[in-house]
Structure 1
Amino acid sequence: MDKLDFETVKSAALAHADGLLAEWLPSGRYDRHEYVALNPTRADKHAGSFRINVRKGSWADFATDDKGGDLVSLYAYLFGVSQGEACRAVAERLRIGNFPAADKQAFTATKKARNTWTPILPVDERYLASMPTSHHFKDKGRQNAERVSLYRDAQGRVLGAVMRFRHADGSKDDMPCTFCRDQHGNMMWRFRGFDEPRPLYGLEALAAKPDAPVLLVEGEKCKDAAAACADLSDYVAVSWAGGSNAWKKTDWQPLAGRRVVCWYRTATANAANLPKKMKRRV
């Protein structure tokens, strides 16, 4: 592959920097014209030293002095491949040029190894400040979270969060976010769901009022509204992650032996069957 091919791929990668960086380093955030993320090639615990200039494509980790001048070299660095392999992979990803098919075996093995992320529960409080509150959506660009709902255990320790993103067309996405560790010991926030069975939203309130009846509602927003309502102060409001179709993935054991009132939204799909199913679980 000659120099012109490299330059073509570098230029195309820079033009698609937002999308590529969101895929390669999904927990990153923007600091003006720089993309700041944890470095997954080392045990990086605090975002700040690893930065990518989205205007030029240059990047550097000021903690290790690793650096490069373009996004192709960044791919090679992150995935542990040669410059030529990185160029072919990025070109193939962007569907540009007339390049031979890249050898995906090494890339696949590397990607699978790097994507083995396991949530750490509970989360050390010192990591809460680095929790991302924005996300890049493939067709809708980068969005900031409209609300962040923190899931806590019975002792009040943070387990993770569910973030709501509202788009310009009025649609919304609820994205779970957990603090994870990979098989190499790297730790960072990931837009990854809780392992099953998933925790309830409101466990700390259940523990604080062990004799109160429980009001089970759908959605974190509804749970928070019910908890703030003076007329419902005799109840403990709780919800679960994922909506009505995800009730089977939830740990209902904390509600065992409690009086539970299911208050659901009739417009929600499958809601008519939800209370009966819940009663069999409690």
Structure 2
Amino acid sequence: MTAVDASREHLREACEAVGLLGQSDRAELIRLGENAMWRLPSRGLVARIARDGQQSAAAREVRVASWLAVNGIPAVKPAEDLEQALEVSGRAVTWWHDLGQHRPDTVAELAALLRRLHALPVPDGLSLGHTDPFVRLDERIGQTDLDAGQQAWLHERLAELRQAWDELPSASPEVVVHGDAWAGNVAVTPDGNAFLLDFERTAIGPREWDLASIAVAFQTSGTVSADRYRSYCRAYGLDVTDWPGYPTLRGARELRLVCFAAQTAVQHPTAHAQAVYRLECLQGLHGPRPWSWSPVP
């Protein structure tokens, strides 16, 4: 059974459990990565199927999205009339209103949404927890097809960054951070409205952690131009690269991007060369940043 077939079977089980009989047969696959996304066109819904063992995180995503709606932050909305974080074969399924046709954001649109998000008071009772920039990285490294020496280097780098994170200089007061603030997690509909997506990493933490994502896209991977980065900083009102703790944030973001590519390569072998290239960049084998990292499936 292929990964797509297995995911569709999870979707079928979930649809049957909530009374959406036959919907899985007509569902359209949007993305198959750590989480699978399926569109149910006739119901105007998107089903998000989490990886194994993520029931509590999936339920929290729904709570975060509902909290954002109450506070006037444009975000994708969970379906109100279906059981959320439904467990099927060990995976949690959540249901969301389909935004329909949309495009990725400009970085300035993302910055404007982050500014609004970071201005909200930290909520009581939402149990967001604190940002962990290294969550699951030990596990990810061990699940890659990198050789033993490459994995050992990544584990050593992870230990260095954990210590550096604990020694970060004081930042601005902690806020609610999105946690994975990049262009793919904002959707802009034809009417020009931008919506935040994907709250798996939403937590309490320094706003600089969110801002570092686009800074790394500019300085490290080279996927954001200098002009676009300047527009991002203007829209938010801050350039995170000026903060003394930024090199640690950059290091953590870079490590996550390397591990993501390496983990992706297990299912998509064509990504292996990109994963090795990214690792070699961190090891200093390909000159200074930016390194022109290519996307992986």
Task: Identify the structure with the greater strand proportion.
Answer: 1
Which has the bigger relative contact order, CA under 8 A and spacing at least 6?
A: 2
Larger radius of gyration between Structure 1 and Structure 2? 1
Structure 1 length normalisation: TM-score? 0.27
